[in-house]
């Protein structure tokens, strides 16, 4: 199982899974952000994780939306400590990882001395006092440390440096799970670079970065992103095309933060769970050999019992796209992208496309009449023709894939969904873990008239058929 589980990442040049197995990371804060960071690190195969948090889970109704609901994985009682429950959950997801919890809230410097020696420290509680204590402790011990926080519509992350006295990152509001996925994915990749540097990684992140959905630029370099309220959004009927790593985290973000705004969630994927999926797809740990769409739908129902979710183990069809108010394109081939783009443009239905690589990814919002379509953006029709005859599904070859970029890109897709109908982003979002700035927007493209062209073509074809009918 070990070699197969990590096959998608060990295929990368100079990847040393044993180095990650020997690593020990401490995560301070077991809330929504800390939970997703822990999920990603466990999937990545970090050998030892220590969770520091003294908060209690009282009930589903009283607990914040987020990782608390994952208790179904371990059958934890309704009243338990959050860190201990999360530790049990991580052990279920990846039994090869050793996870311990410490019921502790850092209030003064001496308390940090009770934490064990580690190779990296992550502060994700959002508590300024705890952040300052962790920063001082990390400098004293010479440990690489990161501070992260997620809020209702944005978050921030910063690397602790030797020349800074205090470092605090803030964001307001109940953490949105999409935001948590963005910040968690970015932080996991920065930690990976500290634990296992790879050729091409480049320099460590130069400074803090922030993400704010309500800012046109989306990304900045502040530790205090502006306070932005959570947007009220009605998603209606939602379609997720692809239940792999990207689709899994899109589904989690939608269900946990916006489940009450979804009338029906349809998940389409013909593939089954394979052992090579387990380093990225955290909900499939006990479902090897089962259909991905069915397993994901079942797990989402356990997470959000009121969610109306329907799996489909067939191929995506025009009817799926036409019936959806918003679609998420989470596939790994251009043929599907080209076909969905044509259906969506013809039906006038918005969709969000996501693509990932081991060290990067991109997101495009395609809203007919308001943005350029996917073909005008990426020339997917040509790319589909070039890809014809080559590998078109995940299980046909061992291709590289890691958890953090899928988590990050999925989070961006979920966040952009809140604006897809009212103010769709005309620019594409790009993430490059090896670029100095990490995040950026590709030049905006003007709205295309492809939809009208398809309508005109259909009308012309109908008129030709009428002309040739016997009189």
Looking at residue 451, what is its pLDDT?
67
pLDDT in tens, 150-185: 999 999 999 987 766 677 888 888 889 999 999 999
d(CA 323, CA 325): 7
Q: Please give the distance of CA 354 from its chain centroid, rounded to a whole number.
A: 10
Per residue in 215-228, pLDDT tens? 899 999 887 776 66
Coil, strand or helix at 214: coil
Alpha carbons 229 and 152: distance in angstroms, whole number: 6
Predicted local distance difference test score (pLDDT) of residue 116:
95
pTM of the model: 0.92
Torsion angle defined by CA atoms of residues 138, 139, 142 and 148, in that order, rounded to the nearest 10 degrees: 40
The candidate with the shortest Cα–Cα distance to 157, out of 411, 426, 401, 413, is 411
365-390 confidence digits (pLDDT tens) = 999 999 999 999 999 999 988 888 66
Which tens digit of pLDDT belongs to each residue from 230-277?
566 789 999 999 999 999 999 999 998 898 899 999 999 999 999 999
* pLDDT confidence band for 30 (50 / 70 / 90): very high
Cβ atoms of 327 and 413 within 8 Å: the answer is no
Give the C-alpha distances (Å, rounded to integers) separating 218 from 8, 37, 256, 356.
31, 21, 22, 19
**CA pseudo-torsion sign 246, 251, 256, 262:** positive
Average pLDDT, rounded, for the chain: 88
Lowest model confidence (mean pLDDT) among 67-81, 286-300, 439-453: 67-81
User: Which one has a higher pLDDT value, 127 or 302?
Assistant: 127
pLDDT of residue 416: 96
For helices 32-44 and 82-93, angle between their N-to-C axes, nearest 10 degrees? 30
Q: In the 3-class helix/strand/coil scheme, how is 276-344 assigned residue by residue?
A: HHCCCCHHHCCCCCCEHHHHHHHHHHHHCCCCCEEEECCCCCHHHHHHCCEEEECCCCHHHHHHHHHHH
pLDDT digits (tens, 9 = 90+) for 69-126: 666 555 555 457 889 989 988 999 999 999 999 999 999 999 999 999 999 999 999 9
Q: Which helix (H) or strand (E) covers residue 345, if one does?
A: helix 334-347
Per residue, the 3-state secondary structure of 138-151, as one string, reads: HHHHCCCEEEEEEC
- Give the separation between CA 370 and CA 372, rounded to whole angstroms: 7
pLDDT cut 70: percent of the chain above it: 86
Instruction: Out of 67-71, 201-205, 431-435, pick the least confident.
Output: 67-71
Q: What is the pLDDT of residue 454?
A: 54
DSSP state of 385: H
What contacts 24+ positions apart, CB below 8 Å, involve 169-172? 169/131, 169/208, 169/223, 169/224, 170/126, 170/128, 170/223, 170/224, 170/225, 171/126, 171/225, 172/227, 172/228
φ and ψ of 355, to 5 deg:
-140, 145
pLDDT higher than threshold 70 for residue 321: yes
pLDDT value at residue 445: 83
Sign of CA pseudo-dihedral 364, 368, 370, 375:
positive
pLDDT score at 62: 45
| Structural domains of the chain ordered from first start | 2-220 (3.40.50.720), 236-452 (3.40.50.720)
Higher pLDDT, 314 or 167: 314
Q: pLDDT per residue over 397-421, tens digit each?
A: 568 999 999 999 999 999 999 999 9
* Whole-number pLDDT of residue 293: 98
Q: Is residue 360's pLDDT more than 80?
A: yes
**Res 65 pLDDT > 70:** no
């Amino acid at each position: 199982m070990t070699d197969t589980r990590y096959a998608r990442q060990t295929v990368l040049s100079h990847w040393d899974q044993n180095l990650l197995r020997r690593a020990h990371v401490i995560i301070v804060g077991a809330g929504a952000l800390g939970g997703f960071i822990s999920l990603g690190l466990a999937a990545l195969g970090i050998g030892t994780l220590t969770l520091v948090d003294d908060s209690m889970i009282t009930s589903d109704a009283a607990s914040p939306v987020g990782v608390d609901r994952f208790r179904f994985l371990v059958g934890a009682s309704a009243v338990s400590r959050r860190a201990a429950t999360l530790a049990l959950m991580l052990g279920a997801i990846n039994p090869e990882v050793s996870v311990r919890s410490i019921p502790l809230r850092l209030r003064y410097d001496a308390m940090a001395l009770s934490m064990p020696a580690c190779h990296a420290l992550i502060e994700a509680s959002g508590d300024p006092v705890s952040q300052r204590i962790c920063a001082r402790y990390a400098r004293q011990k010479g440990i690489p440390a990161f501070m992260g926080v997620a809020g209702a519509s944005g978050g921030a992350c910063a690397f602790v440096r030797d020349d800074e006295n205090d470092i605090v990152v803030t964001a307001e509001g109940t953490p949105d799970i999409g935001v948590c996925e963005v910040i968690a994915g970015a932080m996991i990749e920065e930690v990976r670079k500290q634990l296992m540097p790879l050729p091409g990684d480049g320099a460590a992140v130069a400074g803090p970065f922030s993400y704010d959905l309500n800012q046109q630029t989306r990304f900045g370099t502040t530790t205090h992103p502006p306070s932005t309220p959570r947007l009220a959004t009605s998603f209606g009927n939602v379609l997720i095309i692809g239940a792999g790593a990207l689709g899994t985290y899109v589904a989690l973000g939608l269900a946990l933060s916006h489940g009450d705004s979804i009338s029906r969630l349809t998940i389409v994927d013909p593939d089954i769970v394979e052992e090579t999926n387990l380093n990225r797809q955290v909900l499939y740990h006990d479902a090897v050999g089962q259909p991905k769409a069915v397993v994901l739908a079942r797990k989402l129902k356990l997470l959000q019992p009121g969610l109306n979710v329907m799996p489909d183990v067939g191929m995506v069809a025009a009817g799926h796209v036409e019936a959806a108010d918003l679609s998420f394109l989470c596939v790994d081939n251009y043929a599907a992208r080209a076909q969905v783009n044509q259906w969506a443009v013809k039906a006038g239905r918005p969709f969000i496309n996501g693509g990932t690589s081991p060290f990067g990814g991109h997101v495009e919002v395609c809203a007919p009449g308001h943005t350029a379509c996917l073909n005008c953006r990426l020339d997917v029709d040509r790319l589909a023709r070039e890809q014809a005859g080559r590998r078109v599904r995940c299980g046909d070859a061992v291709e590289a894939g890691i958890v953090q970029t899928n988590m990050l890109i999925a989070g961006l897709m979920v966040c952009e969904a809140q604006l897809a109908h009212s103010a769709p982003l005309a620019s594409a979002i790009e993430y490059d873990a090896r670029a100095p700035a990490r995040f950026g927007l590709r030049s905006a493209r003007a709205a295309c008239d492809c939809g009208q062209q398809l309508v005109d073509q259909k009308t012309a074809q109908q008129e030709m058929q009428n002309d040739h009918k016997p009189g």
